[in-house]
Structure 1
Amino acid sequence: MIFLFILSITLVTFIIMEGITWAMHKYVMHGFLWYLHEDHHKPNAHFFEKNDAFFLIFAIPSWLCIMIGLQDKTYWLAGIGFGIALYGLAYFLVHDVIIHQRFKWFSRSNNTYIKAIKWAHKMHHKHLGKEKSESFGLLFVAKKYWEKVLKDKSIRKQK
């Protein structure tokens, strides 16, 4: 029974993390912590970026929630930590592996969802400055990006 409780808290936290990440990206990364995020918007040949520090900003609370939650048997807190960690894993796979190809594990995909995520992220990086950006989320893709990808696919099928 406790497993199902932790699992449900983990999944709810995972979903909520998309909104938290969107707000952090828009108001913190493109706001007062732009100096850490800026190098992510500029072409460079470095494997690591200052932007990678945001990993710690999310990993530390996740680790603390898991550790304290399991030690004190406050399982809802551990579930929150697991949800943050699960979202972090998804973020790494989608953002660093699939979109930016920092690791060449998946280089090509014809999947509509993946193409929509890539297009939305491309539109986010269209501007090199912190202003005028769009599409601050990661996993939930706005309708206009889905429509763009679906339109492109239907045009290719007609040819």
Structure 2
Amino acid sequence: MSDGAPFPWLDMACTLALVGGGVFGMEMWARWAHKALWHDFEPGWSLHKSHHEPRVGPFEANDVYALVNAIPAMGLCLYGFITPSLAGSLCFGAGLGITLFGIMYMFIHDGLVHRRFPVGPIADLPSMKRIVVAHRIHHTEKYGGVPFGMFFGPQELEAIGAGPELDRLVAEAEAASKRAAAAGSSSK
């Protein structure tokens, strides 16, 4: 732009739209892939079942799926970064959206739900508590594995009539958390 060319507003708008679309699209893709490719398809289940079993060590075979999404995201970002055109902006936006979904998923799923690392105060947000409980319901297989999505997991449960159970389990988890906090403060 130092050559006097106008600011590429269209490119920026398309990039930002695809960032948001990439995040949303990845939730839809993950929801479909989780059921169709990881649970219902035997070769996919052979990797994913490690996630439904007790983990030994810091990694599990299921972690390969992070790379399956990261490699195309990096390719889209790289192509978009080196291609100064609308097509490049679109690719960069899609790659960045996929990457942002991956970061959010890692923090919520691996950090908050499965406690593979600390996540800080996001655990106290009511919406995060509902996501955690919804994913724990997935691990019980009570509703045939539903929910298969992460961020829309509570809505998946509500859609099949399991909303009241989700609400009950969230309330129980909050009560247990308050009891643990009270016990911790009284022992000091």
TM-score, normalisation: structure 2: 0.72
Q: By how many angstroms is 1:69 displaced?
A: 2.1
Q: By how many angstroms is 1:108 displaced?
A: 8.3
Q: Does 1:148 align with 2:160?
A: no
Give the aligned residue type for 2:144: K
Q: Is the 8 A contact 1:19 1:137 kept in 2?
A: yes
1:37-89 Cα offsets, whole Å, 9 max, x none, are 11100113321000000011100110111112222332111111111001000
Paired positions, count: 154
Q: Residue 151 and residue 5 in structure 1: after superposition, are their counterparts in 2 closer, same or farther (change >3 A)?
A: same
Unaligned runs of 5+ in 1: none
Aligned counterpart, 1:86: 100
Aligned counterpart, 2:62: 51
RMSD over equivalenced CA pairs, Å:
2.7
2:65 and 2:77 map into 1 onto residues whose CA distance is: 19
> Structure 1 vs Structure 2: percent identity of aligned residues?
28
Moved more, 28-37 or 92-101: 28-37
**Aligned match for 1:26, one of 32, 35, 53:** 35
SS in 2 for 1:132: coil
Q: Is the 8 A contact 2:130 2:166 kept in 1?
A: yes
Unaligned runs of 5+ in 2: 1-8, 177-188
SS in 1 for 2:54: coil
Q: Residue 39 and residue 154 in structure 1: after superposition, are their counterparts in 2 closer, same or farther (change >3 A)?
A: closer
TM-score, normalisation: structure 1: 0.84
Q: Is the 8 A contact 2:12 2:89 kept in 1?
A: no
